[in-house]
């Protein structure tokens, strides 16, 4: 009996090493594909968008008296002159009204899902010239990504679209508008673009006061999340498959941005690696069930039989790891589960019996291989699911073996006579 247990432990150890190797290979494959495909996806689709509010600067000239001393015919003369001095100062908008529409477009490349989106940006800013001087206001608009694509770009000032005359420099465009005391400027900027992972709007650099600020955002996904360092919306309204969000402030002082984090899907490569690294736990439970049932029912399950069962379990993870970058996760998981169960059930049907294979063995494999692996599909509940499963397994084993006299079992195993050789049928 002791020798049989040692042999089973050896089989378990070798299978565990194989899973560790497979998990390491999948981790490396995922990392290398991410390093190669990530920049390609960014070039084709775009990066995270961080849209800053336009910079507005009031520029004017004022007269200044300059005193200087001249020497004329040996006499010192004080001369007063007037000169123009260039002045400028930042000014803020008196109103902001922005509409943002974000549409999710997730793409699978190799072993990784990329959380991409389409964005339609339409913003209106209002500037009231409260200074008592005449001059001009310089408006500088910075695109969220310098090398991005911006379709339907508009830059309208008081009804005049200046987009066609603006020449971007380092991802920025600027224009200047003459103003006098009491003038009002209405600025509208709109475009359609594409990005990835997150979208942000930064109302100002550092902490500042926002006046009459309103931003409305619509999404076509309901798994909304907000990036770290952003403001929660004032209003959240569910829509058909998404949300309508609003940030509405009459007067607020803040240094935070407004943003949206697009949902991500289970990463096939990371999932395959995680399943491989945790597979020894599920195999341990399954071996325990086989060993206890074999002991209680006096079924002769040899360590070689355990070896083939371990191989069938390993085949599940191997097939899943190399099919998940060709199939979606669910079909790959179903295919791998069916293949592994067919291997185990058809094998134990020959080793033990059809009833044992189709009932006890199949049910245990559903729980400890399929169910254990399914726990990784529920992010945040994996650890709890595995813990509950472990406790239930311990409870079942304790109830099954509570009346077993293990000293007698081990003594019986030590005194077990060798199995008789198989009878030889005479030739026909």
Domain range summary for the chain, segments of one domain joined by +: 2-36+266-403, 49-261
- Pick the more confident residue, 72 or 26: 26
Using one digit for the tens of pLDDT, what is the confidence trace for 234-253? 899 999 889 999 999 888 88
Using one digit for the tens of pLDDT, what is the confidence trace for 159-180? 999 988 888 888 899 999 999 9
- Reported confidence tier of residue 424, pLDDT bands at 50, 70, 90: very low
pLDDT of residue 206: 74
Distance CA 196, CA 49 (A): 7
Quick one: what percent of the chain has pLDDT higher than 90?
A: 44
E strands, 91-134, in order? 95-104, 107-109, 112-114, 116-128
Confidence check: pLDDT of 66 > 90: no
pLDDT of residue 166: 87
Confidence check: pLDDT of 426 > 50: no
What are the distances in angstroms from CA 412 to CA 2, 46, 287, 293, 417? 11, 70, 21, 16, 10
pLDDT of residue 427: 42
Q: Mean pLDDT throughout 15-34?
A: 87
Mean pLDDT estimate for the chain: 86
pLDDT of residue 416: 52
Confidence check: pLDDT of 84 > 80: no
pLDDT of residue 189: 95
| Cα 142-148-149 angle, rounded to 5 deg | 110
- Reported confidence tier of residue 419, pLDDT bands at 50, 70, 90: very low
pLDDT of residue 413: 57
CATH class of 49-261: mainly beta
Residue 22 contacts residue 318 (beta carbons within 8 Å): yes
Give the other-Cβ count within 10 Å of 136's Cβ.
Answer: 17
On the CB side of 81, how many CA atoms lie within 13 Å of its CA? Answer: 9
Least confident of 212-221, 260-269, 328-337, 404-413: 404-413
Strand 49-52 relative to strand 198-202, pairing: parallel
Least confident of 71-80, 145-154, 254-263: 71-80
Confidence check: pLDDT of 417 > 70: no
pLDDT of residue 420: 46
Confidence check: pLDDT of 428 > 60: no
């Amino acid at each position: 009996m002791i020798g049989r247990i040692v042999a089973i432990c050896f089989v378990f150890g070798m299978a565990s090493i194989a899973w560790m190797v497979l998990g390491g290979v999948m981790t490396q494959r995922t990392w290398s594909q991410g390093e190669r495909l990530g920049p390609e996806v960014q070039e084709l689709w775009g990066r995270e968008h961080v849209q800053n509010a336009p910079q507005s600067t009031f520029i004017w000239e004022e007269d200044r008296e300059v005193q200087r001393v001249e020497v004329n015919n040996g006499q010192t003369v004080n001369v007063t002159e007037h000169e123009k001095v260039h002045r400028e100062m930042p000014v803020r908008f008196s109103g902001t009204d922005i509409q943002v529409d974000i549409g999710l477009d997730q793409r699978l490349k190799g072993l990784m899902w990329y959380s991409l989106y389409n964005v339609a940006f339409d913003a209106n800013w209002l500037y009231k010239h409260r200074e008592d001087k005449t001059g001009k206001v310089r408006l500088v608009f910075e695109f969220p990504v310098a090398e991005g694509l911006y379709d339907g770009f508009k830059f309208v000032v008081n009804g005049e679209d200046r987009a066609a005359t603006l020449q971007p420099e380092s991802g920025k465009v600027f224009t200047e508008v003459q103003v006098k005391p009491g003038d009002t400027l209405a600025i509208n900027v709109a475009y359609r673009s594409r990005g990835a992972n997150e979208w942000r709007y930064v109302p100002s650099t550092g902490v500042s006061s926002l006046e009459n600020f309103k931003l409305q955002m619509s999404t076509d996904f309901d798994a909304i999340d907000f990036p770290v360092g952003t403001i929660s919306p004032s209003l959240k309204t569910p829509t058909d498959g998404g949300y309508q969000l609003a940030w509405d402030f009459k007067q607020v002082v803040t240094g935070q941005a407004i943003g949206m984090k697009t949902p991500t899907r289970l990463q096939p490569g990371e999932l395959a690696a995680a399943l491989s690294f945790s597979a020894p736990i599920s195999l341990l439970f399954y071996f325990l069930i086989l060993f206890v049932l074999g002991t209680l029912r006096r079924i002769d399950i040899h360590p070689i039989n355990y070896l083939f069962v371990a191989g069938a379990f390993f085949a599940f993870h191997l097939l899943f790891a190399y099919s998940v970058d060709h199939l979606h996760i669910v079909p790959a998981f179903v295919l791998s589960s069916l293949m592994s169960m067919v291997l185990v059930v058809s094998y134990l049907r020959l080793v033990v019996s059809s009833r044992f294979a189709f009932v006890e063995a199949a049910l245990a494999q559903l729980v400890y291989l399929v169910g254990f692996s399914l726990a990784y599909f529920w992010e945040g509940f994996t650890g709890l699911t595995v813990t509950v499963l472990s406790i239930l397994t311990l409870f079942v084993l304790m109830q099954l073996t509570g009346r077993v006299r293990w000293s007698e079992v081990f003594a019986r195993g030590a005194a077990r006579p060798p199995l008789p050789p198989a009878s030889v049928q005479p030739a026909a």
